[in-house]
């Protein structure tokens, strides 16, 4: 792990870890560290920006434990779409979380912010760094859900196929739990299934 984070921020990796850890439980921080390490591996494998993967992985859940009222205030302050108010932390910590990352961590790197923003819903067009952080969050070694081994294997073969795997998994999971689905998750799925999907004749 590299300790200097220039040109992203003018403070060190150790300081970034300290700031992120201060905003969350030890358990969640450990997930962020594992996501960062997994993102570095994926960046090395698929030719991504390793430093941005390291930072993006660490900060992706920075806002996960920020209170709802602070998110609601941020949605108003930044004039974000009012439809966001119909959702909750699961959507906000990515899409709205980036404003806390900018304010509190002084990270303004567009690719990192985009990756954090897209890690909860995916996006129809995700740049490589967004794909890396999205998949690292899903397959880091602490993940235990049914299908995680398949997700890891698919992702090692093709990062893009991994993205589609996760979007499909996310949609199925939300439907199963009878939870509302943020529309961007649908449009993301449609874009990725057209890009890399292979319709299954046997289903």
Residues that bind Fe ion (CB under 5 A): 61, 137
CB of 199 to Fe ion, least distance (A): 30
Helix (H, G, I), strand (E, B) or coil at 160: helix
Residue labelled with tokens 């912010």: 113
Nearer to Fe ion, 61 or 109 (CB): 61
CB of 90 to Fe ion, least distance (A): 8
For residue 151, give the nearest of 161, 86, 185 by alpha carbon. 161
Identify whether the C-beta of residue 151 lies closer than 8 Å to the C-beta of residue 173: no
CB of 101 to Fe ion, least distance (A): 12
Per-residue DSSP letters for 166-186?
HHHHHHHHHHHTT----HHHH
CB of 136 to Fe ion, least distance (A): 9
| E strand residue ranges, the chain | none
Nearer to Fe ion, 144 or 200 (CB): 144
Nearer to Fe ion, 43 or 198 (CB): 43
Helix (H, G, I), strand (E, B) or coil at 126: coil
Between CA 79 and CA 48 the distance in angstroms is 32
Nearer to Fe ion, 60 or 160 (CB): 60
| E strand residue ranges, 28-146 | none
CB of 140 to Fe ion, least distance (A): 8
Nearer to Fe ion, 38 or 137 (CB): 137
CB of 61 to Fe ion, least distance (A): 4
Between CA 156 and CA 148 the distance in angstroms is 12
Widest pairwise Cα distance in the chain: 54
Nearer to Fe ion, 109 or 137 (CB): 137
């Amino acid at each position: 792990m590299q300790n200097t984070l220039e040109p992203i921020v003018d403070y060190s990796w150790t300081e970034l870890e300290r700031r992120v850890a201060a905003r969350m439980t030890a358990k969640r921080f450990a997930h962020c560290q594992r996501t960062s390490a997994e993102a570095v591996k994926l960046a090395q494998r698929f030719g991504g920006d390793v430093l941005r993967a390291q930072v993006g992985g660490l900060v992706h859940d920075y806002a996960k434990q920020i209170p709802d009222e602070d998110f609601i205030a941020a949605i108003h302050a930044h004039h974000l779409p009012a439809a966001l108010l119909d959702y909750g932390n699961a959507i906000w910590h990515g899409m709205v979380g980036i404003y806390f990352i900018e304010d509190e961590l002084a990270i303004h790197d567009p690719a990192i912010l985009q990756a954090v923003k897209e890690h909860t819903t995916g996006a129809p067009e995700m740049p490589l760094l967004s794909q890396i952080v999205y998949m690292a969050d899903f397959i880091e070694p602490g993940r235990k859900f049914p299908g995680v081994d398949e997700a890891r294997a698919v992702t090692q073969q093709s990062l893009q196929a991994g993205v589609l795997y996760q979007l499909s998994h996310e949609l199925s999971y939300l439907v199963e739990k009878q939870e509302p689905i943020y529309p961007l998750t649908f449009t993301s799925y449609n874009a990725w299934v057209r890009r890399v999907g292979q319709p299954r004749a046997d289903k």
